[in-house]
Structure 1
Amino acid sequence: MKEHTLEECVRHTLERYFKDLEGETTSGIWDMVLTAVERPMLEVVLEKAAHNQSRAAEMLGINRNTLRKKLDHYQIKV
């Protein structure tokens, strides 16, 4: 089975999204994509960091306060 990169998956999903619109107009794609990617990314990284916020922030390359704000925004319980 062929492995796909994250970039390829996002590209494929966006192409399918536009195809499914069947010519209808859309807006807010930036926020839609970031929200769709950011929440699961935070959840998976937290799991891999054993719910240690300092370690998760380090893995993500952001500071701990930024991580905490994002967790609050998505209402992710730690």
Structure 2
Amino acid sequence: MNAVRLPVNEATRETSSQSALGECVTRTVRRYLADIGDTVCDEGLHALVIREVEVPLLREVMAFHDGNQSRAAAALGINRATLRKKLSQYGLL
């Protein structure tokens, strides 16, 4: 495994310069890594995090925009075809 372990003081350092979302991700990833230890994530940690974050992100943005894909895509900064592909991929259509 090619994991980089932070020194204890750096791993527990305050994350006050991060956004609330960044702090949430930091805490969650640290907890996940502590829970799995040296066990390898079969799909890869990056793919796992993206999938776990992308589904609720798409769901919430679509709900906020009352299902309007054009407005949701604009808010996400992606084109509507990409949004439709992602919604279909995750069974959100």
Q: TM-score range by the shorter chain?
A: 0.7 to 0.9
Q: Hey, which of these two has a bigger chunk of helix by percent? A: 1
> Aligned equivalents of 1:69 and 1:53: distance in 2?
11
**Pairs aligned (count):** 73
RMSD, aligned α-carbons: 1.2
Give identity over the alignment, percent.
48
Q: TM-score with structure 1 length normalisation?
A: 0.87
Aligned equivalent of 1:60: 76
1:51 corresponds, among 67, 79, 82, to 67
> Which 5+ residue runs of structure 2 have no aligned equivalent?
1-18
> Which 5+ residue runs of structure 1 have no aligned equivalent?
none
SS of aligned partner of 1:67 = helix
Please say which structure displays the higher CA radius of gyration. Answer: 2
- What amino acid is the match of 1:26? V
Q: TM-score with structure 2 length normalisation?
A: 0.74
